[in-house]
Amino acid sequence: MNYLVTGGAGFLGTALSNRLAKQGHNVRVLDDCSTGNPGDLLPEVTFVQGDINEKILLWKLLEDVDCVFHLAAKVSVPESCLFPSSYNLVNVSGTVTLMEAIRDTQVKRVVLASSGAIYGYQEEIPYHESAEVHPESPYAVSKLSAEHYVRTISAQCGVEAVCLRVFNAYGPGQRIPKSHPPIISNFLKHAMTNGTITIHGNGTQTRDYVYVDDVVNALVTASTAVGVDQQVINIGSGVETSVLELVRLVRQVTGKKPEEVYNPLKNGGSSRMCACIAKAKEKLNYIPLVPLETGLRLTIERDPQFRE
Ligand SMILES: NC(=O)c1ccc[n+]([C@@H]2O[C@H](COP(=O)([O-])OP(=O)(O)OC[C@H]3O[C@@H](n4cnc5c(N)ncnc54)[C@H](O)[C@@H]3O)[C@@H](O)[C@H]2O)c1
């Protein structure tokens, strides 16, 4: 098949594009390299640097494409609270521009990388797709808007659409920005260098950590699965892990004894998060294959950022 992966030079996008290329598909990547780095893409992948809001470029890239994976986005919850308009421009307007361009082409399906952040506070754990959502940050609002635009415009123009609400993905290739780094790569980096692990709050807050290869499995299946048009589907591990448990596992797999520092709780996150993955199992035959401890070991083994 012919695929376009927007944001394909990012963490998930690189893993997805390389997997598709290894399976023998034709893969084009559009990425503005604001955080992504095309250096890790296989030579078989065609890389184009550009912005998701460039419609004429999108038309060219969409020629003969069967399926679009839309991953291009700004992805930091805390940063979105500081710069909501830029999150709106990329994550919402960018999605609308892409959908307008898709409308004029022969694309058959769009798969959106949406987010578990959309749910916000929920009484019931794990989170079901049918739950009422309470987005608590501009990032979460932008991903929910993107879902609505993808589903509405695709339905109007006869293109199939699937939105995967990905929970906390981690694994080799995840970048570690200085401000607001993702928790797992941040903890691993500090552990490997015998630094300090900073825990916000008392460490009882929970997340659903899902290994990159499991997310890629779900994305790839979503591009061809039958009976998923217009569906929103959670993709996580289905396991709720506290920060304290994560720290214990990080100590175990690294064999290091980093110091722990407790800081006040930051805003912008639910105290508990966990995906119900029953729908993913039913619709995508999705089974997460990599438990957290194994995923942490693989991350250290495969990512040069964590070499001693
Ligand atoms: N990683 C996670 O835990 C997670 C969880 C839920 C949802 N998601 C979603 O998955 C997608 C990929 O996330 P990721 O973790 O790989 O993040 P990432 O930052 O590594 O990837 C996003 C990519 O989009 C590119 N991009 C940003 N603005 C762009 C623009 N204007 N035009 C073109 N490209 C642009 C970036 O350069 C980057 O390569 C995002 O849509 C994100 O919202 C990720």
Query: What confidence tens digit (pLDDT) does each residue in 2-56 have?
Result: 999 999 999 999 999 999 999 999 999 999 999 999 999 999 999 999 999 999 9
Distance (Å) from CA 226 to ligand 1 centroid? 26
Output the CA 189–ligand 1 centroid distance in Å: 21
pLDDT at position 302 over 80: yes
The percent of residues in the chain predicted with pLDDT above 70, rounded, is 99
The reported pLDDT for the residue numbered 2 is 98
pLDDT value of position 143: 98
Q: What is the reported pLDDT for 268?
A: 56
The pLDDT assigned to 270 comes to 81
The pLDDT of residue 307 is 80
Q: In this predicted structure, what is the pLDDT of residue 266? A: 75
Task: Report the catalytic residues.
Answer: 139
CA of 13 to the centre of ligand 1 (A): 7
User: Which tens digits make up the pLDDT trace of 254-282?
Assistant: 999 999 999 988 765 789 999 999 999 99
| Reported confidence tier of residue 288, pLDDT bands at 50, 70, 90 | very high
Question: Under 8 Å CB-to-CB from 84, ≥6 apart: which residues?
Answer: 138
Residue closest via CA to ligand 1's atom 20 equals 10
Could you tell me which of 109, 220, 225, 222 has the C-alpha nearest to residue 158? 109
Residue 150 near residue 95 (C-beta atoms within 8 A) = yes
Q: Is the CB of 31 under 6 A from ligand 1?
A: yes
Q: 257 CA to middle of ligand 1, Å?
A: 32
pTM beyond 0.85, yes or no: yes
Give the number of the atom of ligand 1 that is nearest the alpha carbon of residue 117: 6
Q: How many residues does the chain have?
A: 308
Q: How far apart are CA 308 and CA 283, in angstroms?
A: 42
Q: What is the DSSP letter of 74?
A: -
Q: Is the pLDDT of residue 220 over 90?
A: yes
Q: How confident is the model at residue 295 (pLDDT cuts 50, 70, 90)?
A: very high
pLDDT of amino acid 267: 66
**Stretch 63-83: mean pLDDT, rounded?**
97
Instruction: Summarize the confidence of residues 113-121 as an average pLDDT.
Output: 97
Q: Whose CA is nearest to atom 26 of ligand 1?
A: 72
Rounded CA gap, 95 and 258, in Å? Answer: 41
Q: Which domains does the chain have, with CATH numbers?
A: 2-167+210-237+276-284 (3.40.50.720), 183-206+239-274+292-306 (3.90.25.10)
From the alpha carbon of 89, which atom of ligand 1 is closest? Answer: 31
Q: Is 185 in the pocket of ligand 1 (CB under 6 A)?
A: no
In this predicted structure, the answer to whether residue 116 has a pLDDT above a threshold of 70 is yes
Q: Which atom of ligand 1 is nearest to the CA of 75?
A: 43
**Average pLDDT along the chain:** 96
The residue nearest atom 9 of ligand 1, judged by CA position, is 113
Residue 203 — left, alpha, or beta (φ > 0 → left; ψ -120 to 50 → alpha)?
left
Q: Is the CB of 91 under 6 A from ligand 1?
A: no
The CA 272 to ligand 1 mean position distance, Å, reads: 23
